[in-house]
């Protein structure tokens, strides 16, 4: 039996995060990142975001082309160091969504429940992001103990 766990590893440098995000991404608050092999919710993680900046002929920093589609215009990618977990805009107190202070757990969403959850559904179309991890942990029950298994991409993509 395998149990879901809120643990991962994030050891990427700011330069590697930029390469993984597409090469021309702007970096924001990356000084907050530290290599972590046992990272939990509320720790800082690199997050790739994008936002509309205009139509198809836009260029990013150093003149590189940005991701464009015919309907949405162009998107400029950024990599931010953010705390892992969601504090919804409607929260009156961030502690309501801090699992370590007895609040609701919002550091992980299951794909099969996204569209039916009011918390996540409103974010699907325009507020998506990619959280960059080297890998994550799952716990396997072996007898009476639990053993952490590190799950990562086999090809060790370097960006």
- Among 68, 78, 96, 138, the one annotated catalytic: 138
Residues pairing with 80 in the sheet: 28, 47
The answer to whether residue 129 is catalytic is: no
Cα(38)–Cα(136) distance, integer angstroms? 9
**Other CB atoms within 10 Å distance of the CB of residue 107:** 19
The answer to whether residue 115 is catalytic is: no
- Among 1, 5, 96, 112, the one annotated catalytic: 5
Answer whether 106's CB lies under 8 Å from 88's CB.
yes
Cα(119)–Cα(137) distance, integer angstroms? 25
Q: What are phi and psi of 53, to 5 degrees?
A: -130, 5
Active site residues: 5, 138
């Amino acid at each position: 039996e395998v149990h879901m766990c809120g643990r991962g590893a994030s050891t990427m440098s700011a330069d590697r995060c930029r390469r993984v995000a597409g090469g021309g991404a702007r970096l924001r608050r990356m000084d907050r990142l530290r290599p972590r092999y046992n990272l939990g919710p509320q720790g800082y993680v690199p997050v790739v975001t994008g936002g509309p900046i205009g139509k198809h002929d836009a260029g990013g920093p150093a003149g590189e082309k940005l991701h464009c589609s015919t309907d949405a215009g162009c998107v400029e990618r950024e990599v931010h160091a953010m705390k892992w977990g969601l504090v919804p805009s409607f929260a009156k107190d961030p502690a309501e969504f801090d699992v370590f202070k007895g609040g609701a757990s919002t550091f992980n969403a299951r794909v099969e429940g996204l569209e039916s959850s009011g918390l996540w559904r409103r974010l699907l179309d325009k507020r998506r992001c990619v959280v960059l991890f080297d890998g994550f942990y799952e716990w396997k029950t072996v007898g009476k103990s639990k053993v952490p298994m590190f799950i990562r991409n086999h090809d060790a993509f370097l960006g």
